[in-house]
Structure 1
């Protein structure tokens, strides 16, 4: 059975800044070696290297700009200004252009320190041209890690859109009403048979890794059976008057035959991921689907953690796809989460009663002292009250000098 530690090891974490640190250390090491091995022209070499590196992307950006100007200026940019929209989109603006300009100025100022001046400018133009050719042919294209990093950093994955749609279009609407719906449900079913004796009052959201969702939970596990639906929530939404939102109640049977009531359902956006993996035109295979499911889980968890409306009203359950040999995997997983939730919840003990206090004190106090102590404890433990006296107020007594009396008595 999958534990919380295994689940934490399964979910991919956001990529960090280790590549940047490694690149900075490598660049500092190489620059330090060149600094100590080169007698003259160090600044000129650094400027030449920076200019060669930055001119390649700038030349490739010019090639991209030609395509955008000729075919997409009206459809993609709505005829907007070239400087404010097209140039940044093609990488011809911002940091790259600034660094290339500074490197060119530094190279001009330190050009007299460089050796082999006759071949310097040939190298400046030759290397960017070769870079542009290889970049256009795809030999220097971004790797899968870089594309994944860009998509995750800018929230461009399919999973991010599905998670936000699931939250804003469903969970944010129904979770604040869940507790009231369960209370109404229990009140209406209490006469026929007791309900919700054991179970969770949170919405259990199932997220299978393979995204293959069954429309009836009892078809996957015989220990789960449908009990009833919670009262419908009717909300005016997107022009539809009284759009109906509902939850289903299932009874999950444990190994001792006891039934546990809970509101449980699958995350419906996973149906979209599964259907996309079945469509050839979507270009969405099984490995990509699994990765998107994990990103969906992580993104939805982050969204719900920041939501005050949904706090303590849900529980996400990530289901592994390696349980074909266990026909009761689903019920065991739900029961394990219910048990874990029960252990996480706690209640304050009621205040000790009078008999308990008397028993603890009466073992070593006399009856008279015991009653006095108890009355003092009772007066200290009860809530403060406002006491009003009906007697007339009296003036304060004046101080009396008694030093002479004490002196005579001594």
Structure 2
């Protein structure tokens, strides 16, 4: 496995507004071209085009309406008002109806008939009637990018649910108690880990291939199990004293020296993603699994960054599967993160000292600064303020 140092090159960013900008530029360019050819008919053509584009979806929504009312109104739309929810689900409200009404009003206000108005009306009726058929057959169905954008925008991906479940059902419960568990572990292991400088965070491994081993030592023989932290027990979902635990591992370098202990584990929801990709009924292939793992990492990172309870108690490690055949790569990655964490948390070099022109003066300053602070009183009597002297030319 390879550590992804440059995560921005791998983790997908949320989709932006560039498609809207491109669509706006294309529409403005087309309208400018029509205006140059026939400026007096610009608004008429724009109104007719909008009518053609909006009446089709409205007719398609009317085709969806009977199915929803007859067979799904009582099961899918139980929250009142049922009718308005059905209309909204079929696309018969929102932006489509006002757009069609505004286009019709604009066409009426233009007042100047378009050339061959009867032919334009025939085209309007024919295109609007054929749109529901073409749409129902899937010819005008949404692309994968559109579906992905909708799912990410409405938080409908599998990764979003797994990330929130992992946070609310596990990390939010155990991370605030991690320091107490480590303190209890130190008290029972006086010669063990966490006595000096060391990682007191939970290292969470997130491999892109979602292939998780049940024991870390099976992945890398430079990693060995040391002990478990004290169990965290709490009443959860009707279970009295549900147990949560963390494992401490010893990480060796390439020379099998310099053992470092840390609390590390895989993100358990990735087991679900891996099993789903192996079930044909889930419709979840390897490509979709990798995409969902990246979305899981991005969602979990955003959630934890906003969590006050979990701040400075975790470290996410995103792993690639390009070097999964290297025997000691996982230990190398973990050690690299531990070293980076120490550099971030501890100052390894003394603060720079300014050079003084006179070293004895420097020592005197050091002596004065090291003395206990004391109050100094003056024995001189207070003097009046100096009166202003008038200095003006006669």
TM-score, normalised by the number of residues in structure 2: 0.89
Indicate conservation of the 8 Å contact 1:41/1:114, yes or no: yes
State the alpha-carbon separation in 2 of the partners of residues 196 and 204 from structure 1: 18
Q: Deviations over 1:302-323 (max 9, x none)?
A: 1111111111111111111121
Tell me which residue corresponds to 2:201: 202
Indicate conservation of the 8 Å contact 1:41/1:115, yes or no: no
Indicate conservation of the 8 Å contact 1:206/1:267, yes or no: yes
CA 1:300–1:398: 2 relative to 1, 3 Å? closer
State the alpha-carbon separation in 2 of the partners of residues 331 and 178 from structure 1: 23
Tell me which residue corresponds to 1:278: 278
Tell me which residue corresponds to 2:390: none
**Which SS does the other structure have where 1:236 is aligned?**
strand
Q: Deviations over 1:202-231 (max 9, x none)?
A: 100011111111111111110000000001
User: 2:214 aligned with 1:233, yes or no?
Assistant: no
User: 2:265 aligned with 1:265, yes or no?
Assistant: yes
Q: How does 1:11-410 map to 2 (within 5 A)?
A: 11-78=11-78, 80-191=80-191, 193=192, 199-256=198-255, 257-347=257-347, 365=360, 377-381=366-370, 384=373
CA 1:35–1:383: 2 relative to 1, 3 Å? farther
How many Å apart are 1:6 and its aligned residue?
4.0
State the alpha-carbon separation in 2 of the partners of residues 351 and 272 from structure 1: 49
Indicate conservation of the 8 Å contact 1:196/1:260, yes or no: no
State the alpha-carbon separation in 1 of the partners of residues 70 and 364 from structure 2: 94
Q: Deviations over 1:142-168 (max 9, x none)?
A: 011100000000000000000011011
Moved more, 124-133 or 182-191: 182-191
Q: Deviations over 1:10-32 (max 9, x none)?
A: 11111111111110000000000
Q: Deviations over 1:168-197 (max 9, x none)?
A: 111111111112211221121115x56555
Tell me which residue corresponds to 1:406: none
**Which SS does the other structure have where 1:244 is aligned?**
strand
**Which SS does the other structure have where 1:75 is aligned?**
helix
State the alpha-carbon separation in 2 of the partners of residues 348 and 253 from structure 1: 22
Root-mean-square deviation (Å):
2.9
State the alpha-carbon separation in 1 of the partners of residues 382 and 5 from structure 2: 75
How many Å apart are 1:134 and its aligned residue?
0.3
Larger radius of gyration: 1
State the alpha-carbon separation in 2 of the partners of residues 206 and 348 from structure 1: 27
How many Å apart are 1:135 and its aligned residue?
0.2
TM-score, normalised by the number of residues in structure 1: 0.86
Tell me which residue corresponds to 1:405: none
CA 1:79–1:267: 2 relative to 1, 3 Å? closer
Indicate conservation of the 8 Å contact 1:197/1:261, yes or no: no
Moved more, 320-329 or 5-14: 5-14
**Which SS does the other structure have where 2:12 is aligned?**
coil
Indicate conservation of the 8 Å contact 2:4/2:320, yes or no: no
How many Å apart are 1:120 and its aligned residue?
2.1
Indicate conservation of the 8 Å contact 2:194/2:200, yes or no: no
Unaligned runs of 5+ in 2: 385-394
Indicate conservation of the 8 Å contact 2:2/2:329, yes or no: no
**Which SS does the other structure have where 1:12 is aligned?**
coil
| Large movers: runs of 4+ above 3 Å | 1-7, 79-83, 193-199, 347-352, 360-365, 373-385, 394-399
State the alpha-carbon separation in 2 of the partners of residues 53 and 84 from structure 1: 23
